[in-house]
A = this chain, B = another copy of it.
């Protein structure tokens, strides 16, 4: 029943009916006091979600637009920057930085392994000309969460460098206290923890980022954040914004506020634990190094069987869409998205379906039910906030 397809991919994530309903209202004029009210309210809620007193600017565009905006508004051509690269989105940072003529030094880890904060520390200590450290928090392609807190704290000790972070699949799923961790530029996108359809993205900028923007000379117009800042201060937008997605944003942020940050983070943590422990219990290997599984997405590397075959059976029999592997991981991993509007039922269902599919394919090494039993224990054991 393809009409009943459930999304368990790392974006778009499921969208609550309340949000879809808000989305489908008749548009209003974007230069009206009514719309200004929405901009004002969503901006305040975005600051709450980012745990920042800095600016959070809303762009009509994908997460990549927000990432690019972060770079082109704070750096100068030829600037030396460090990019962390341990997956597809780390690679994207490198591509963006190079497209604008930055002098990029790459700190790599193998896909599946986290970035090592010591490597950043060493390079930062050795070179006081570095202008930015650019990295991905939750690497969607591999399910690895990098230690953004440690790395951005290293950056803070440096004279000139700022931290630019892709928090596209971490924000709204796990704790990313922007001000406390000292993240200077933070990019995120609506189709992830926000529980919204894709189409809006967000760039948070603190005072250090704005200071860096004064010497920036990279060309921009649509993604010129000074324009967004100027209009945001008047509760408006520089260009026609995606009005209906703003309706959805307001409703989604209301829902997040009602749930509260602590509960949101504990829910994602519970779902991560249940998913990851269940996959291991049924004999599947997690792709992310131990201790570095993302709260948003779990990449699983089944041995002896094509990962896409598992996805196919899960989709055909149970109408659950899992994500495949990207680039060289194609067919080697499948990825379970567990971020945003996801409840315990979704988790237990996904695990039961994967187990059942493996069983049907003759590839389940443990008694059927092992995964569900494991997840079940975790889902009930954990003290819910």
Which residues of A are in contact with B by a Cβ distance under 8 Å? 2, 5, 7, 9, 11-12, 14-15, 20-21, 23-32, 34, 60-65, 68, 95-96, 99-101, 189, 191, 197-199, 218-224, 239-245, 321, 323-324
Q: Is the CB of B242 within 8 A of A198?
A: yes
A-B contact pairs, 17 of them (CB 8 A): A12-B30, A15-B26, A20-B26, A27-B191, A28-B321, A30-B198, A31-B323, A61-B222, A63-B240, A64-B221, A65-B222, A189-B240, A197-B242, A197-B243, A198-B243, A219-B219, A242-B242
Q: Is the CB of B26 within 8 A of A23?
A: no
Interfacial chain B residues near A101, Cβ < 8 Å: 219
Interfacial chain B residues near A68, Cβ < 8 Å: 221-222
Q: Is the CB of A244 within 8 A of B26?
A: no
In angstroms, Cα B199 to Cα A189, docked, is 14
Q: Is the CB of B29 within 8 A of A12?
A: yes
In angstroms, Cα B9 to Cα A224, docked, is 26
Interfacial chain B residues near A21, Cβ < 8 Å: 24
Copy total for this chain: 2
Q: Is the CB of A27 within 8 A of B2?
A: no
Interfacial chain B residues near A27, Cβ < 8 Å: 7, 12, 15, 191, 197-198
Look across to chain B and name the residue whose beta carbon is closest to the beta carbon of A241. B198
Look across to chain B and name the residue whose beta carbon is closest to the beta carbon of A8. B29
Q: Is the CB of B24 within 8 A of A222?
A: no
Interfacial chain B residues near A189, Cβ < 8 Å: 240
Selected from B9, B24, B221, the residue in CB contact (under 8 A) with A96 is B221
In angstroms, Cα B26 to Cα A15, docked, is 7
Look across to chain B and name the residue whose beta carbon is closest to the beta carbon of A12. B27
Look across to chain B and name the residue whose beta carbon is closest to the beta carbon of A7. B29
Q: Is the CB of A321 within 8 A of B12?
A: no
Q: A31-B324, A62-B239 are in contact. List 12 more A-B contacts (CB 8 A).
A: A7-B28, A9-B29, A12-B27, A12-B28, A15-B26, A15-B27, A20-B26, A27-B197, A60-B61, A62-B222, A63-B240, A64-B239
In angstroms, Cα B19 to Cα A25, docked, is 11
* Least Cβ–Cβ distance between A280 and chain B, in angstroms: 26
In angstroms, Cα B23 to Cα A26, docked, is 11
Look across to chain B and name the residue whose beta carbon is closest to the beta carbon of A26. B15
Interfacial chain B residues near A244, Cβ < 8 Å: 23, 197-199
Given A60-B60, A197-B27, A221-B95, A242–B245 Cβ distance below 8 Å?
A: yes
Selected from B7, B218, B222, B242, the residue in CB contact (under 8 A) with A64 is B222
Q: Is the CB of A321 within 8 A of B32?
A: yes
Q: Is the CB of A240 within 8 A of B191?
A: yes
In angstroms, Cα B238 to Cα A63, docked, is 12
